[in-house]
Chain A
């Protein structure tokens, strides 16, 4: 069964460094999402992406964040200058056009030191 793939599974970085989290959505899906989950808290929406542009973003998704679909398969989340409070689990999800179910990847745990 096709699945959403995220790499790396765990990323450790120093405060102020740039990180890129990578996702390979399911191949025939057209909507892509990033969510984050700070340890012990609920899952929060960051951004959605459709037709090569951001379709919706939350108040969390400030100028430090950006998303890109550099080729036909990858979907990336970049954090320009990481802060301690960016430490969280980041989930990528994708969805087909016709079916309203978001399928999640296994997540990337980001640790900012």
Chain B
């Protein structure tokens, strides 16, 4: 079974600074998807960024980028120019290649942005 681990329960960053959230996963599959979801206090789950494992190029989405290290099974999220609105719980998630597969989530990292 796949597992996802986020070893940082809490992180903090100064507004306008850069922060990196860590995620590792375990799988025997060679092709899969990885995601970062954001959960603000409203508890809505919002997709931040997605990475397809067969693509070597790291995904970017405006101020959000990932560092995907397939051999190390590592998938970190970098938030540049942090804004107060980035404060939220961030979940890393894994999905197998099979269409319709479940998402397996990590424990989450609570990010605080200090003004």
Question: How far is A91 from B95 in the complex, measured between Cα atoms in Å?
Answer: 17
Residues in B31-52 with C-beta less than 8 Å from chain A: 33, 35, 37, 42-47, 50
The reply to whether A50 and B45 form a contact with Cβ atoms under 8 Å apart is: no
Q: In which size bucket is the chain A interface?
A: 20 to 34
- A37 surroundings in chain B (CB, below 8 A): 43
Chain B residues bordering chain A, tally (CB within 8 A): 23
- B50 surroundings in chain A (CB, below 8 A): 100-101
Task: Determine if A31 is an interface residue (Cβ-Cβ < 8 Å).
Answer: yes
How near does chain A come to B23, taking the closest CB pair, in angstroms?
12
Also in contact, A43 and B105, with CB within 8 A (given A101-B47, A103-B47, A104-B44): yes
- A75 surroundings in chain B (CB, below 8 A): none
- B44 surroundings in chain A (CB, below 8 A): 104-107
Also in contact, A55 and B105, with CB within 8 A (given A103-B47, A104-B44): no
Task: Determine if B102 is an interface residue (Cβ-Cβ < 8 Å).
Answer: yes
The reply to whether A42 and B107 form a contact with Cβ atoms under 8 Å apart is: yes
Closest B residue to A55 by CB, please name it: B100
Q: Interface of chain A, helix or strand or loop or mixed?
A: strand
Question: How far is A91 from B108 in the complex, measured between Cα atoms in Å?
Answer: 16
Task: Determine if A65 is an interface residue (Cβ-Cβ < 8 Å).
Answer: no
Question: How far is A93 from B47 in the complex, measured between Cα atoms in Å?
Answer: 12
The reply to whether A106 and B42 form a contact with Cβ atoms under 8 Å apart is: yes
| 26 CB-based A-B contacts, threshold 8 Å | A31-B99, A33-B102, A35-B103, A41-B107, A42-B106, A42-B108, A43-B91, A43-B103, A43-B105, A44-B105, A45-B102, A45-B104, A48-B101, A48-B102, A56-B101, A58-B102, A89-B43, A97-B99, A100-B50, A101-B50, A102-B95, A104-B37, A104-B44, A104-B46, A106-B43, A107-B43
